[in-house]
Amino acid sequence: MGSRMGMGVPKCLIEVGGRPIIAHLLDRLAGVADVRVVVGYDAANVIRRIKDLRRDVTFVVNPSYRMTTTLHSYVMGGAHLDAPALYMDADILFEPRSFAAFLAKAGAQPAEALIAVTEAKTQDCVYAHLDGRQRITRFSREEAGPYEWANLAWLPPGLLEEQPSAVYERLAAHLPLQAEPVVSYEMDTPQDYEQLKAAYAGFAAQA
Amino acid sequence: MRTGFAFDLDGTLTLEELLPLIAREAGLDEEIGLLTRLTIDGTLTFASSFKLRFAILKSLPFAQVQAATALARLDPEVAAFIAARPDQCRIVTGNIPQWIDPLVQRVGCGLYSSEASASETHPLAVTRLINKADAINAMRADFDRVVAIGEGANDIPMFDAADISIAYGGVHEPAAALLEVSDYVTYENRALCRLLNMLS
């Protein structure tokens, strides 16, 4: 909801490089036919903005967003789907090449779950601990490590189930799960936002 | 699981509102245009709007009204979805059957509508104004799950009664109040039909 950002707009509409962050995400998904966006806070405004960016998005309305977790939104987004799908938060900036590499790796083994991890850097870090075969064996909020959960995952149908917990807690029930590092920046706090903007400038310079 | 699909007609299944087509026939474009806008945005209740339009249009013979509504263009993707499974689909509309019969025949599925007494050539009085929720409840006799697709404020009761509700903005922006009772919102006919296929 962007409340900790103190900007009064949904986080997915906060601008980076002159465009809402969701516009950058939709760029990453240009080759994906079926894109769904779960909307809750300020839904009418979010829908209006996103449909002008990409008209064939399917919006999934979550009226109880104030009382539910992101896991609930993930489950809603994947409802009635009998195929694997890519799930992600909408307040993240992905480095384009690493996102494309993640998609390619997921597509190569579509029946297997693939969980994105990124270099630990956010204030609200959920650390992902990996074994020697690059599999996540444990999530932890307390015990630090080089990687954090990147809030991006390729998941087979039925793996996510409704329960009042966070997405990573649900994933923890299925460990070990294959991990794939990506370069990404999430924003929960103004400090995260500063990091993200600096990273965007770097991506733009690379391009 | 057997799934039924309830489609609003004007501006969901048709690419244009029917009333302006009829109004053009009657030379009442401007007046009916105002009525349509007030109804779509929910300022005028569907019941009042329907009474007014009925009063205006009942002087027109059925043949003339049908000639106008028969010209309505159908959304090709949505029409193809229905044509592939007519037994699972119903049109749910506030119109009376005598105004839209050739159009409904063209779509080729069942109809829930308002009803009017009539002479051979003209309607006389509205005998039943549809509550779209009744149509959904009637469909429950044939289906385990009912999906509603619409765009106007008069679709709210239908959305409330259905298991899954889809607001469709392919022709114009769905009524703001409809968002409150929608599970999905789509703006593009292929996205809508992808969703419908997933649910069928």
List the CATH number of the domain containing B10.
3.40.50.1000
Portion of chain A with pLDDT greater than 70, in percent: 96
Please report residues of B whose CB lies closer than 8 A to that of A51. Answer: 169, 187
Residue B66's pLDDT is 94
- Does residue A4 belong to any structural domain of this protein? no
Q: Alpha-carbon Rg of chain A, whole angstroms?
A: 16
Minimum-distance CB partner of A80 among B169, B180, B198: B198
Residue B1: CA count within 13 A, CB half-sphere: 12
List the CATH number of the domain containing A62.
3.90.550.10
- Does residue A2 belong to any structural domain of this protein? no
- Does residue A76 belong to any structural domain of this protein? yes
Segment B157-197, tens digit of pLDDT: 999 999 999 999 999 899 999 999 999 999 999 999 999 99
Test mutation, A61, A62, A82, chain B, max B CBs within 10 A: A61
The separation between the first and the last C-alpha atoms of chain B, rounded to the nearest angstrom, is 9
Q: Which amino acid is residue B52, in one-letter code?
A: L
The tally of domains found in chain B comes to: 1
- Does residue A47 belong to any structural domain of this protein? yes
| Token reading at A149 | 């959960």
Residue A2's pLDDT is 44
* Residue B135 and residue B109 in contact, taking contact as beta carbons nearer than 8 Å: no
- Does residue B16 carry a pLDDT above 80? yes
- Does residue A172 belong to any structural domain of this protein? yes
Segment A161-171, tens digit of pLDDT: 888 889 999 99
Output phi, psi for A61, to 5 deg: -90, 125
Residue B18's pLDDT is 87
Q: What mean pLDDT is reported for chain B?
A: 93
Helix, strand, or coil here: B105?
helix
Task: Give the predicted TM-score (pTM) of the model.
Answer: 0.94
- Does residue A1 carry a pLDDT above 50? no
Q: What mean pLDDT is reported for chain A?
A: 92
Which of A93-97, B19-23, B37-41, B107-111 has the weakest average pLDDT? B37-41
Question: How far is it, in rounded angstroms, from Cα A96 to Cα B54?
Answer: 58
Which of B176, B120, B189 has its CA nearest to residue B149? Answer: B189
Structural domain boundaries enclosing A142: 11-206
- Does residue A1 belong to any structural domain of this protein? no
Structural domain boundaries enclosing B11: 3-199
Residue A5's pLDDT is 64
Please report residues of A whose CB lies closer than 8 A to that of B195. Answer: 58
* Residue A188 and residue A124 in contact, taking contact as beta carbons nearer than 8 Å: yes
* Average confidence (pLDDT) over B91-117: 96
| Look-up of token digits 């009942």 | B58
The tally of domains found in chain A comes to: 1
How many CB atoms sit inside 10 A of residue B155's CB? 29
Question: How far is it, in rounded angstroms, from Cα A172 to Cα A140?
Answer: 10
- Does residue A82 belong to any structural domain of this protein? yes
Residue A158's pLDDT is 86
- Does residue A102 belong to any structural domain of this protein? yes
| Contact B144/A at CB under 8 A | no
Output phi, psi for A90, to 5 deg: -105, 10
Q: Categorize the per-residue pLDDT at A4 as very low, low, confident or very high, splitting at 50, 70 and 90.
A: low
ipTM of the complex: 0.94
